[in-house]
Amino acid sequence: MVHVVESELQRVGRSIHAAFPTRSRHPLRALDVKAMEMAAQDQELRAALFRFVDVTPACTSLDDLARHLSAYLDEVDERPPPLAAAMRMSQSKAGRTALGAAAAAGVRHMAHRFIVGETPRDARGVLEGLWRDGVATSVDLLGEATVTSAEGERYAARCHEALDDLAGVYRPLPARPLLEADRSGPIPRENLSVKVSALTPLLRPEAPERGKADAAPRVRALLRHARELGAHLHIDMESFDSREAVTDLVLELLSEDEFRDGPSAGLVLQAYLRDSPQLCERVIAWAQSTPRDYPLLVRLVKGAYWDHEIVEARQHGWESPVFEVKADSDRNFEELTRRLLEARPAVRVAIASHNLRSIAHALAASRAMGGDDRDVEIQVLRGLGDDLQEALAKRGLRVRTYCPVGDLVAGMAYLVRRLLENTSNESFLHEQAAGRSLDELLAAP
Ligand SMILES: Cc1cc2nc3c(=O)[nH]c(=O)nc-3n(C[C@H](O)[C@H](O)[C@H](O)COP(=O)(O)OP(=O)(O)OC[C@H]3O[C@@H](n4cnc5c(N)ncnc54)[C@H](O)[C@@H]3O)c2cc1C
């Protein structure tokens, strides 16, 4: 079996690779190449730039922005020439204004590669274009770490509005059978991803029940609204300290009788967590004992909070909840892929990755089990997975692109996570950009 999967994997991986657009808009080229090359090489500079990007939305003026930039860069011992020039500019007010404007424009430019619009209505053109190109989407309303209850209410109201907007965008579009059904039945066109930490300020590891209780009415209202519209609601997964509460919340709400017949809904499993195999078994057991009209959609990811989890664990002197060797996350991802695929049709499976090996493995494993390609969904992130998305659509596979919507302020935390991830030397996209051969990229972890 292993041998069969491995040879099929090589075939699928090469076929997808051959369908990549020739004039490739490589995702790392979308980031400012020079800045990213330097950031990847120099840890101090990397940290300074990330802190700077983080603070940008809070700056009140260009002058203010430039002051922050020079303060952060001051901490870097060996400055590459462009940064030394920037430091000289920051010594006068006029220089600071010019520097601030350039930095703000740079950050905005970068953000627009990843964030499709301020509202789903603004993003209409992008969403329609993707659908016409054979690509489904999940719209993510940016907004994290709500501090007050009023903020949670506001985020919930934006989610309701987004569901209505999405119905307005998607209803008139032409049929795309590949994107609208698998062997379990219909798949909604409208798909919204939400974060529980944006719906409640009370999501705290020391009192998970309070966070759950506070978020439950808001999530329940969103589930009802999604069911009325025939939309899919997906609950994203965040850092480890909220994992239990978020998982319990989703499974408890979806166990309620009123949600048996819908809406389509799902959660996320993070393969970088050492205990994810146990959680995977729990989710599968839940799905098998809780029949629903729409099977639970499990989005398998590696996990976006790796740096955060490592720092958090070190600070407390705990063993980190995440694997510390990249290949361990990759191997676990493949193991979980197999488990989830075997559990169909009790669950639907979405493989969310830009790693060609991880994706080819899922398709090959599914085929080896006698599965239909329609029963595996591949998901990518807007701005990072653009070429991959095009190749997958060209090969007749169902691909869904996660499209963040919102303003730059709310987008910063998202952007910083994408930057951190992709300037890490171990990231697949980084290796691909560095010119690794296809054999190496498809090799077993
Ligand atoms: C559509 C979509 C939705 C997503 N939703 C979520 C979500 O809800 N929650 C969430 O947490 N993430 C989410 N992610 C992000 C995802 O978790 C990954 O961070 C991202 O996709 C990179 O993984 P990869 O397989 O594409 O790339 P790869 O380069 O193959 O893997 C990179 C990942 O490996 C892991 N890693 C890196 N270094 C090490 C190391 N030294 N030891 C162990 N592991 C390491 C990290 O998880 C890192 O992100 C989503 C991704 C997509 C595409």
The 10s digit of each residue's pLDDT in 316-350 is 999 999 999 999 999 999 999 999 999 999 999 99
The helix (H) or strand (E) run that includes residue 8 is helix 2-18
The helix (H) or strand (E) run that includes residue 232 is strand 232-235
Count CB neighbours of 370 within 10 A: 6
Q: Taking 60 as the threshold, does the pLDDT of residue 28 lie above it?
A: no
Q: Which residue has the tokens 């079996």?
A: 1
CA dihedral 248, 249, 251, 253 (to 10 degrees): 150
CA of 220 to the centre of ligand 1 (A): 28
- The ligand 1 site (C-beta within 6 Å) comprises 236-237, 268, 270, 272, 301-306, 322-326, 328-329, 352-355, 358, 379-381, 402, 421, 424, 426-428
Give, using CA atoms, the residue closest to atom 53 of ligand 1: 380
Q: Where does residue 220 rank: exposed (0-12), middle (13-18), buried (19+ CB within 10 A)?
A: middle
Most confident range, picked from 66-75, 98-107, 352-361 = 352-361
Range 30-37 average pLDDT: 54
Do 372 and 348 touch, CB atoms closer than 8 A? no
pLDDT of residue 89: 72
Q: Taking 60 as the threshold, does the pLDDT of residue 439 lie above it?
A: yes
Task: Ligand 1 pocket test: pick from 302, 306, 312 the residue with the most ligand atoms within 8 Å of its Cβ.
Answer: 302
DSSP-derived pairing of the beta strands 347-352 and 376-381: parallel
Q: Taking 60 as the threshold, does the pLDDT of residue 64 lie above it?
A: yes
What is the distance between the alpha carbons of residues 104 and 435, in angstroms, rounded to a whole number?
Answer: 31
Nearest atom (ligand 1) to Cα of 138: 1
Nearest to 52 by CA among 40, 43, 39, 65: 65
For the chain, the residue count is 445
Q: Taking 60 as the threshold, does the pLDDT of residue 254 lie above it?
A: yes
Nearest to 234 by CA among 267, 282, 259, 188: 267
One-letter amino acid of 187: I
The DSSP code for 385 is S
Give, using CA atoms, the residue closest to atom 36 of ligand 1: 326
CA of 15 to the centre of ligand 1 (A): 23
User: Between these two residues, 433 and 136, which has the higher pLDDT value?
Assistant: 136
Tokens of 388: 């991959």
- Encode 184-219: b = buried (16+ Cβ within 10 Å), e = exposed: beebbbbbbbbbbbbbbbbbeeeebeebbebbbebb
* DSSP per-residue letters across 155-169: HHHHHHHHHHHHHHH
Task: Ligand 1 pocket test: pick from 237, 301, 333, 431 the residue with the most ligand atoms within 8 Å of its Cβ.
Answer: 301
Q: For 96-110, 159-173, 199-213, which range has the lowest pLDDT when averaged over its residues?
A: 96-110
DSSP-derived pairing of the beta strands 136-141 and 232-235: unpaired
**Does residue 318 sit in helix, strand or coil?**
coil
Range 21-26 average pLDDT: 65
What is the distance between the alpha carbons of residues 225 and 30, in angstroms, rounded to a whole number?
Answer: 36
Peptide bond before residue 345 is cis, with ω within 30 degrees of 0: yes
Q: Over the stretch 256-312, which tens digit does the pLDDT of each residue have?
A: 999 999 999 999 999 999 999 999 999 999 999 998 999 999 999 999 999 889 989
CA of 239 to the centre of ligand 1 (A): 12
What is the distance between the alpha carbons of residues 425 and 416, in angstroms, rounded to a whole number?
Answer: 16
Range 85-90 average pLDDT: 71
CA of 273 to the centre of ligand 1 (A): 11
CA of 95 to the centre of ligand 1 (A): 39
pLDDT of residue 328: 98
Contacts of 157 (CB under 8 A, 6+ apart): none
CA of 302 to the centre of ligand 1 (A): 4
CA of 352 to the centre of ligand 1 (A): 8
Task: Ligand 1 pocket test: pick from 333, 351, 421 the residue with the most ligand atoms within 8 Å of its Cβ.
Answer: 421
Nearest atom (ligand 1) to Cα of 380: 53
Give, using CA atoms, the residue closest to atom 44 of ligand 1: 326
Range 234-240 average pLDDT: 96
What is the distance between the alpha carbons of residues 376 and 300, in angstroms, rounded to a whole number?
Answer: 11
Nearest to 389 by CA among 371, 375, 402: 402
CA of 79 to the centre of ligand 1 (A): 30
